[in-house]
Structure 1
Amino acid sequence: MNDQINETNSNKSFWKLINEYEIKIPQLQRDYAQGRQNDAAIEQIRDALIAEFYDALNGGNKLVLNFIYGDVRDDVFTPIDGQQRLTSLFLLHWYIFKRSGFNEGVELLGKFSYLTRDTSRRFCERIKDVELDFTKDNIKEQIEDTFWFSGNFKSDPTIQSMLVVLDVIHSTFINLDDFEFIKNALIGDECPIIFLWLPMEDFNNSDDLYIKMNARGKLLTDFEIFKAKLQNSQYMEMILGEDVSAHDKVVYISNYNNRFAELFYSRFQNKFDDAMMAFVQTYIRDDYYSKASESGVPQKDYRDEYKKIVKMNGSVFFRFIAAGGNGYSQVVKPKQIIAHSLMKINLLLEIFSEHESLDIRKTINKNYYSEEKIFSKNSSDMTFEETVARYALFEYIYKFGYPTLEPEVEAYNNWKRFVYNMVRNTDFGGRPEDSCEAMTVFRNLVDALGSPAKKEILQLIESFDLSKSTAEMKHQLREEKDKAKLIIKSEAWECLIINAEEYFTDGQIGFLMSFSLKGDDFDIAMFEKNFDTAKKLFNPSKNLNESCNSSLFERALLAMKDETKGHTGHLLKQKNSTTTWGFYQRDYGKLLSNRDGGIKRNAMHYLFEKLEDSSNVNSDLNTIIDSVDDTVFVGKDAWKLPFIKNDLFGILLGRFKFRNCIHLNNENQEILLLAGTTVRSYSMELNTLLLSEKLRASGINSGKLQLHMYMTGELYDPKDGFPLRYLSYKGYKVGYYITNRLEPTKLFCLKDSRDNISQYDDNEIFDKILKM
């Protein structure tokens, strides 16, 4: 800021400033915003600031409001930066002086004026004389009820903002008894609320000064505010010891100003300060809330609070840690948890500062995580999966340091492989409670490790008690326990397992292992054969290989024995639906997952057995379809036979395309083929569709045959009970009645041009239409 800022600056209280100068907010300044409503960020700043006022005036730490600077001329101070804080201080003093009956002080506050609008200026003059009943809950309404508060005052945004702030001050201070003590603190030489005052001179025009300074000036960042508060907090004693000196505190904080700042600057450039703030916030957040989860705090109590942390500014976040978190009674010694987090952060950043690149050398071919990429992403922008992975890896590095020796590197790579498999195959679903539970599991595993050794990591995984896992993680953890046992058992198993994990992107190979069970043991030869079959069918993403015909695959899979209760073991339930199933988007990976205990993938197991040693997968799939025993598909399985025998996947339904999702209801007798993914989309009834296909195959005039679709799950027209989905031909309509009888007869109905309805069985209706 060159020579325009005086070399001499001082700590100053609002009372001292207004005793020396008039304070005039210039026209070029924006409206007072700290009372703005319907703005969550402003509300957070406002509430935190007034709470800090309260704490400082009631024996808390001294509150320093950073730099306030501006033009001094003819005993008038025109702020360039600090308008919002000065206005809040003006309102605080007005309230305290009014409550304490300090009329001389109220009169002196008349030297504070707003020039942005005439109404703002007159409001600051008028409120000196307002008489209030402080036993009432609301200040704003009382001022608005005064005779002079006209419509122009009500439309002034600065005034409305001031009134909101006065109400917050009132609600914060209302129950205090000794306002004389508070008033004396505000006007005393040792006022606990001060700011750094920088008078500026030698500008010919104050408007010019305002424009130039706002183009060049820079406020303290959130992280600078947080560091300043941390340096003067009790956490310094908790981290560095009770006998910590002022010098030690400065050295501790200087790491963030120098060494750690360079670490972040090399990756984030001018956004390095925000990235440091986010790193500190999220690491403390993850430690604290994972402990809250482990301590039994109900999920509903912390799931929303977890999300708020990264939205806190420096002051608000410091208040969060100063209070020891959210005050959950179940969390024991919360400040020690936060202090330990700060110690972790410091050590991790010391470790990372020693390495130009953070990536740790690979001993396994597969790319799991890049430590460099993890660290180089702003922590506040991470997904839950990324957050959990970072936490699990950094906890290990915190405990054992950056691995350099070969055994240490190999051990870390096995830990990273385990973390990758667990995180990739756990559905966090945007739920912070699930990520908190996962971080607890990883932290406890790291705590239980005695040394950075590969065998010890594998033994720890093998012996892990599943009852201590989370519901979401246990499916994959069971697989990892089995794999750890086999890797310990032999190098041959280790080679096979690593190769299979490297082939499949998600590292989930539980289906290969379950298909290879012989009694209670895994058979290595069966595993090799199943892995070979899997590679013939699926690519690394578990989509079908391009050489494999998807329709043949799906029809052959439907022909396999179904051991699920609903006889829908070959299909996936669609989101937000209890009756919609399908091969939508052909996400076969879900049919191979561990999530349902393996029941749904049993059908896939039977298919693998039939394709064992296959040299031509499509030819063998065709053979499976051609050899289907029709008599097996009865009852709840009867709907599958038409799909197996007829190539219905992806067919056109009139002007729509079948999206390979079906609606199943009424003991699987109600079958609707969907043109979307839920029953709310257009759909066609299966038996009606099959009749239309049979008629077209017979050679009738297809141009006169039309399918009529319908939306939603309603089946019949409420007026006459005729099906809402039907085919039309030469003025006649043909539909199908759906019942829950397993062997229905005469369920087709025909409506003529006079709306007369008659019923027919399958053969009768076919012959009837052919003769039209």
Structure 2
Amino acid sequence: MTSRTTFGKLIERHGRVEIPVIQRDYAQGRADQHIVRDDFLKSLYDALCLPQEDPTLPLDLDFVYGSIVNGSFQPLDGQQRLTTLFLLHWYLAWVDGCSEDLRSRIVTSGRSRFSYEVRPSSRDFINAFANYIPDISAGECEDIAGMITDQPWYFRSWRFDPTIRAALSMLDRMHEVFRKTSGLYARLIDETAPAITFQLLDLEQFDLSDDLYIKMNARGKPLTPFETFKARFERHLENQFKDAPPDLCNGTPLADFFSHRIDTRWSDFFWPFRDKKTATFDDAIMNLLRAVIMVTRDPEAAATSLDLADLRSMARASSYTWFHDRGWLDQEMVLALITLLERWSAGPETFCCYLPDTRHLDEQALFQDILTKPTSLTFQQLAQLAGYTQFLVHSPGEIDSTAFDAWMRVVSNLATNTDYNRPEDLRRSFAGLRDLTPWMNDILNHLASSDGDVRGFSREQVAEERIKAHLIGFGGGWPERLARAERHTYFRGQIGFLLRCCGLKLGEVDAELERLDTATASELVEPFEHYLACASQMFDDLVQHPKGSGRLWERALLAVGNFLPNVGRNRSLLTTSYDEAWGWKRLLRSAAAGGQPSQILKALWDQIDDPDTYAADLGGVIESASEIDPWREAILATPSAYDYGTYRMMRFSEDGGVYLLRKTQMNGRHAELFTYCLYDSLASDMKPYGFSTIYYEATSTEEEPGLYFVRDFDGDVAKFYLCISEGPDSYELYLEEPEEPKDELIAILKGAGFEEKDGWLTKDVKRSDIESEALALARAFAHET
């Protein structure tokens, strides 16, 4: 029978666990198995470090098969995992000073209750090792393998035993992973709330004779993880669709249909996606199962959000027990799985696609991501997969590629341009997609109708899709025109800002749908084409030529208005990063919603006569800018300000100071905007007067960044510092070195308007005068010398 147990309970229940002679050597610790070893250790570490009440616990290590032979439990599959657990018990007991407790549990009459009979040397080593308690703490040990091999009970000949070598290698790696932990031994042996368990399976209950299984195992062919899943899943399917199997099964009982297909057609389908090292596609199938389960959860069930979080977690390996115990192997999941496999494997090609092209979804690329990294699928990809699966499941017979393409265009636009922060957001999108099932084959007409609202996605994007659906219905080139706009790699289907520039109000979508008629749609063609041409050129330049024509667009837009969005306590000059809060995409979304960003974009584009000769127009916008904020004026005059920080962040302090940030915090490197812009222009102007110019970046809020002017004078180094003073318009220029200036230097500075304050020679300067005052200082020295 099957039961969930722990390593400690297994020892306690059977008295002795013996790796039989027919098994191979311990391999999990070998150098060539480092990926498997490290992944397994990470899973064990993560599980042991989680709080007892964590819902993802226990970590299930899947099945251990075995039987009782001569009074000992002999595992026929699970040897590698059990051996690693044995070593981990020994190691963590040592780390936590509990070696005597462990020895009382696993040693009887001087013999280890966990034994290796593969070869005598392995058995003797395990016996000696189980009794060994190091005389130093784990924290004092630098080389655990060296410590063990240096013991008097360790025979030199053991170095040739592959099991012993692998065990020592595993202990070395455990030492790297667990040496700084504490209290994990208690978690490891906790039987009331175990952190790590496995399923113990009696062979007789698995319909396999011991002889047959031993022969399989002796040949190195134990059941693979998917074969284990398949055997139990087929039994589960006997209870699904009892009355009538799905149409896809052609009247065949579901379990029989699945069993036959997975061994024939579907097996051939998965073969190109097999692991080249193991020649199996187990992981690919199990990953597909996980992804299908994710997109078939009931969107109206409150538990779905938790289910999605669990399924997207890498902490849990896919297994039948995990899927079954959570109730995830339901009819909807089974129907979706069979439908997808039947559809994808239907053609002569490796993967049968149903969309006419990859504009709205690259089916093969998504499938590859599902097979290789299901837990890394983004929320946007999962929403797309849910819509994709929904259409194939609910469209019997031949797939209408035109209707499918229209559906996936809407699904992808909605998913790509909705912000997802947690599984609950995705669950709402699943619900919205399910609402649309009756209209999948005529989605555009539905969206353009008075009942065409969609829940679970960005309200602005839903409004945009409804208006675009209405425009498409007019013909007149609108389908091609909108498709051309949506295809821009930066817009990715979100072009509400263009509609807004044309005067369409996305916030009043129902009224707009009623107002828009053929004549109105015709009037929109010319402005839409103009704004699309401007936007396309602008974002092509921003992405491809950021320091050339792209910079020209940025400066011209800043000359028109202050469009910088708030990002926490900062404002951002924006980057081309697509998904971040400081990217241009955020500005476009804000423009689609109306307000100042849309007004500034429209105002700039309205000044572009011809997007093909835009450079002169942009230059004119920049040169003619007047009566604008001083900080904008400084940036326009100093384009290098755009290159200062990784994220182009600015901080406007409460007292009116303006700072450029290297990253996102004032406790990192930062510069004061006006002195930084002055540094860029003054470096060459001060040089003829013997001054070198150095910019000092502050790294905390306790100091002010600013400009150093340095030159030699009468055998000393005269060093001046210019920084912001008591307000945004007030700066001070003072002599920092030498601390005790000579009379000649004092005379020059007083002649230049410097005064003594608190022991410093200093001069108060207005922001508008900082450049002229710096040059006046330089000239004062030139006059004297």
Give the TM-score category using the shorter length: 0.5 to 0.7
Question: Quick one: structure 1 residues 598 and 402, their matched pair in 2 at CA, closer, same or farther if it must change by over 3 Å?
Answer: farther
For residue 624 of structure 2, what is the aligned residue in structure 1?
Answer: 627
**CA–CA distance in 2 between the matches of 1:30 and 1:351?**
42
Matched, 1:502 2:474: no
1:465 aligns with 2:453: yes
**Structure 2 match to 1:549:** 549
User: 1:602 corresponds to which residue?
Assistant: 599
Matches within 5 A, 1:554-573: 554-562=554-562, 569=563, 571=564
Aligned equivalent of 2:442, options 420, 442, 453: 453
> Are the equivalent residues in 1 in contact too, given 2:501–2:598 (CA < 8 A)?
no
Q: Which residue does 1:254 correspond to in 2?
A: 260
Change (3 A) 1:665 1:736: same
Q: CA deviation at 1:675?
A: 5.1
Residue 619 (structure 1) shift: 0.8
Alignment of 1:338-377 (within 5 A): 338-357=330-349, 358=351, 360=353, 367-377=359-369
- Whether contact under 8 Å (2:676, 2:695) holds in the other structure is no
The one-character-per-residue Cα deviations of 1:536-595 (angstroms, maximum 9, x if unpaired) are 4332x9636689623332221111133xxxxxx2x3666xx6325224458544432358
Aligned to 2:241: 239
Pick closer, same or farther for the CA change 1:544–1:275 going to 2, 3 Å. Answer: closer
8 Å CA contact 2:691, 2:778 repeated in 1 = no
The 5 A counterparts of 1:639-718 are: 639-644=631-636, 646-649=637-640, 661-666=648-653, 669-674=656-661, 679-692=666-679, 695=682, 701=688, 704-714=691-701, 716=703
Q: Report how far residue 303 of structure 1 moved.
A: 5.8
Change (3 A) 1:620 1:257: same
**Residue aligning to 1:750:** 734
Q: Which residue of 1 aligns with 2:527?
A: 526
* Native 8 Å contact 2:291 2:370 kept in 1: no
8 A contact 2:287–2:371 mirrored in 1: yes
Residue 720 of structure 2 aligns to a residue whose secondary structure is strand
Q: CA deviation at 1:396?
A: 0.7
Verify: 1:760 aligned to 2:765, yes or no: yes
Check if 1:591 corresponds to 2:587.
Answer: yes
8 A Cα contact 2:695 2:708, kept in partner: yes
- Offset of 1:660 from its aligned partner? 8.2
Equivalent residue for 1:492?
Answer: 477
User: Over aligned residue pairs, what C-alpha RMSD do you find?
Assistant: 5.4
Taking the aligned partners of 1:222 and 1:213, their CA distance within structure 2 comes to 14
Instruction: Determine helix, strand or coil for the equivalent of 2:560.
Output: coil
Q: In the alignment, is the contact (CA less than 8 A) between 2:46 and 2:315 conserved in 1?
A: no
| TM-fit CA distance, 1:602 | 3.1
Equivalent residues of 1:573, 1:581 under 8 A apart = yes
The reply on whether 1:386 has 2:399 as its aligned counterpart is no
In structure 1, what is the Cα distance between the partners aligned to 2:721 and 2:19?
86
**Cα 1:251–1:666 shift into 2, 3 Å:** closer
Residue 178 (structure 1) aligns with: none
For residues 674-705 of structure 1, the C-alpha deviation after alignment (integer angstroms, 9 at most, x for no partner) is 45565455433233235445655756526523
The 3 A distance-change label for structure 1 pair 414 and 690 is closer
Aligned with residue 307 of structure 1, among 297, 305, 312: 312
SS at match of 1:239: coil
In structure 1, the residue corresponding to 2:698 is in which secondary structure? Answer: coil
- What amino acid does structure 2 have at the position aligned with 1:706? T
- What do the CA deviations read for 1:186-205 (whole angstroms, capped 9, x no partner)? 99xx976886412799xxxx
Alignment partner, residue 161 of structure 2: none
* Equivalent position SS for 2:543: coil
Contact 2:697–2:706 (CA under 8 A) maintained in structure 1 = yes
1:737 and 2:737 correspond: no
Take 2:683 and 2:412, find their aligned partners in 1: how far apart are those partners? 53
8 A Cα contact 2:557 2:604, kept in partner:
yes
The percent of aligned pairs where both chains have the same amino acid is 19
Q: Deviations over 1:195-241 (max 9, x none)?
A: 6412799xxxxxxx9xx977x512212221111112223x5223333
Residue 237 of structure 1 aligns with an amino acid whose one-letter code is: N
Alignment check: 8 A CA contact 1:538 1:545 kept: no
> How far apart are residue 608 of structure 1 and its match?
0.7
Q: Deviations over 1:63-91 (max 9, x none)?
A: 9965889xx9x999987756479999x9x
Task: Show the 5 A alignment for 1:111-260.
Answer: 114-115=116-117, 116-118=122-124, 120=126, 167=189, 196-198=209-211, 216-233=219-236, 235-241=237-243, 249-260=255-266
1:616 maps to 2:613: yes
The aligned counterpart of 1:319 is: 321
Tell me the alpha carbon deviations over residues 171-192 of structure 1, each in whole angstroms, 9 at most, x when there is no partner.
78xxxxxxxxxxxxx99xx976
The Cα of 1:673 is off from its aligned counterpart by 3.4
Contact map agreement 1:510 1:594 (CA 8 A) in 2: no
Any stretches of 5+ residues in structure 2 without a counterpart? 1-9, 30-37, 49-61, 87-107, 132-151, 155-163, 175-184, 195-200, 506-511, 578-582, 712-717, 740-759
Structure 1 distance, partners of 2:20, 2:130, is 11
Deviation at 1:500, TM superposition (A): 1.7
| Distance change in 2, residues 1:356/1:426 (3 Å) | farther
CA distance in 2, matches of 1:124, 1:688: 69
**Are residues 268 and 708 of structure 1, via their aligned partners in 2, closer, same or farther at CA, if it must alter by over 3 Å?**
same
The one-letter code of the counterpart of 2:220 is: G
TM-score where L is the length of structure 2: 0.64
Q: Once structures 1 and 2 are overlaid, which stretch shifts more, 613-622 or 219-228?
A: 613-622
Q: For 2:353 and 2:213, how far apart are their aligned partners in 1?
A: 52
Corresponding residue for residue 464 of structure 2: 479
Aligned to 2:148: none
State the alpha-carbon separation in 2 of the partners of residues 243 and 531 from structure 1: 52
Gapped runs of 5+ residues in structure 1? 1-13, 47-62, 91-105, 126-150, 173-185, 202-208, 326-333, 563-568, 717-722
Matched, 1:264 2:270: yes
Write the deviation string for residues 94-117 of structure 1: whole angstroms up to 9, x where unpaired.
Answer: xxxxxxxxxxxx99x999954434
Is the 1:411–1:452 contact (alpha carbons within 8 Å) kept by the matching residues of 2?
Answer: yes
1:713 Cα deviation after fit:
4.4
**How far apart, in 2, do the equivalents of 1:459 and 1:193 lie?**
57
Counterpart-to-counterpart distance in 2, 1:256 and 1:598: 53
In 2, are the aligned partners of 1:282 and 1:310 still within 8 Å (CA)? no
- Conserved in 2, the CA contact under 8 Å of 1:411 and 1:457? no
- Evaluate the alpha carbon distance shift between residue 444 and residue 305 of structure 1 in structure 2; reply closer, same or farther with a 3 A threshold: same
Secondary structure at the counterpart of residue 709 of structure 2: strand
Cα gap change, 1:340 to 1:492, in 2 (>3 Å):
same
Q: Distance in 1 between matches of 2:314 and 2:682?
A: 65
- Encode CA deviations 1:466-494: one digit per residue, 9 max, x unaligned: 5x224xx3342232122112212344322
Alignment of 1:18-97 (within 5 A): 24=20, 29-30=25-26, 39=41, 41=43, 83=79
2:707 is equivalent to residue 726 of structure 1:
yes
1:738 to 1:592, Cα distance in 2 relative to 1, 3 A? farther
**CA distance in structure 2 between the aligned counterparts of 1:76 and 1:191, rounded to whole angstroms:** 17
CA shift at 1:266, angstroms? 4.1
- SS of alignment partner, residue 543 of structure 1: helix
Partner in structure 1 of residue 198 of structure 2: none
SS at match of 2:639: coil
What amino acid sits opposite 1:535 in the alignment?
A: S
Tell me how far apart the structure 1 counterparts of residues 668 and 602 of structure 2 sit (CA, whole Å): 33
Q: Secondary structure at the match of 2:561?
A: coil
Count of residue pairs brought into register by the alignment: 616
One-letter amino acid matched to 2:550: S
**Distance (whole Å) between structure 1 residues aligned to residue 78 and residue 358 of structure 2:** 54
Q: 1:757 to 1:43 in 2, by over 3 A?
A: closer
Q: Contact 2:23 / 2:217 at 8 angstroms: preserved in 1?
A: no
SS in structure 1 at match of 2:415:
helix
Contact 1:683–1:709 under 8 Å retained in 2:
no
State the distance in 2 between where 1:660 and 1:45 align.
Answer: 36
- Name the amino acid aligned to 1:556: A
| Equivalent of residue 392 in structure 2, options 383, 391, 397 | 397
Q: Is the 8 A contact 2:266 2:341 kept in 1?
A: yes
The answer to whether the 8 Å contact 1:458/1:488 transfers is: no
Instruction: State the distance in 2 between where 1:170 and 1:691 align.
Output: 68
